[in-house]
Structure 1
């Protein structure tokens, strides 16, 4: 995993991405190719006391838009249906659920969300944003549906022109 503590600039970037002040961020779990925060790792209990099951929160606008497009295509229903017929996929998705829970538990135990991961894991696909956030933070091979969605998203975060010029 490529995590780092969030800087003031990171938190400002996340606020711009979300359109609101970020809450409970402990790490930048993934940076987009352009260098901005793409996934943040959040506490399981927000500062105001609210339980928050989403450990890996997708913030990159391009990735969020690409996930929304995939969700609108009906992909989640297709993925969920595959869980009814593919025992190996069921095993891998359950392992992703367990990995997600373990990552959250490292940040602290919250009784209200004990055993509940996110994104519909382990029995259905409810939110590609969560699954992609998990896949980006954890790396390939951890979340099968997150990996699959990423492969369908294409170039969701192109490198800014300034960076291209600097690399030339």
Structure 2
């Protein structure tokens, strides 16, 4: 795992602040800039931080913010309640997230807490998309659905640079 000074500077610009707890770049734009940062489960100041896959790409962040403002999460929550297969896959995504984070450490304060509302509700599309982009499609069904909607609506597509 390597994070270059150029990566850290790009993250600083993307986030508007100095990045904290960066372990690696979990996903990159086709141009090579960071899209998702892999963040330590405990920040340098000692704070626990459950969001291991942190979405940083400005266009992807804007796209997720648009979908959240349009209440797409309500639709996804309804689907989770009505579709046992989707709910089971989402619960499996939660377990995957925790398993991967345990490889970096497991602060007691966030034991059993993943991100984005997993395993029972959809709370943050940014975190769920970050999971999908970091580990690939087929693991987090809500992250996958979010990516599909972003592409369909032409809000963001990881196959095209929009940096």
User: Normalization by structure 2: what TM-score?
Assistant: 0.93
**Structure 1 residue ranges without an equivalent (≥5):** 162-168
Q: How far is 1:84 from its partner?
A: 1.1
Question: How many residues are paired up?
Answer: 158
User: Normalization by structure 1: what TM-score?
Assistant: 0.90
Indicate whether 1:48 and 2:50 are aligned.
Answer: no
Structure 1 segment 44-123 matched on structure 2, within 5 A: 44-123=41-120
Whole-angstrom distance in 2 between the partners of 1:137 and 1:160: 18
Partner of 1:147: 144
Q: How far is 1:159 from its partner?
A: 2.9
Change (3 A) 1:88 1:7: same
Partner of 1:28: 25
Partner of 1:125: 122
Over alpha carbons, which structure has the higher Rg? 1
Whole-angstrom distance in 2 between the partners of 1:98 and 1:5: 26
**Structure 2 residue ranges without an equivalent (≥5):** none
Q: Structure 1 segments of 4 or more deviating over 6 A?
A: none
Instruction: Select 1:15's aligned residue among 12, 16, 20.
Output: 12
Q: How far is 1:160 from its partner?
A: 6.4
Partner of 1:166: none
Q: What CA deviation, in whole Å up to 9, does each residue of 1:112-159 have, x standing for no partner?
A: 000010100001000000000000001010000101111111252643
Whole-angstrom distance in 2 between the partners of 1:59 and 1:160: 13
